Amino acid sequence: MSGRQATVAPVGSSALAETGADQTFPVLATGVALFLGGVALYRRSRLGAGTGTQA
């Protein structure tokens, strides 16, 4: 070896990087709930706007 030292992880540290992937499900569930709420509100407003306008 030409002067290189092996890199050693400090004691008590994690070997894997912190990616935040463990928080995926709560974020996904919140997004789906917001999307479905928006769809319901959109449909409700479109149904109310269409009454009485057709001959």
Overall pTM surpassing 0.85 (yes/no): no
pLDDT tens for residues 1-52? 566 777 766 666 667 778 888 889 999 999 999 999 999 999 999 887 766 5
Q: pLDDT at position 6, please?
A: 73
Q: pLDDT at position 55, please?
A: 47
Q: What is the SS3 assignment for the chain?
A: CCCCCCCCCCCCCCCCCCCCHHHHHHHHHHHHHHHHHHHHHHHHHHHHHCCCCCC
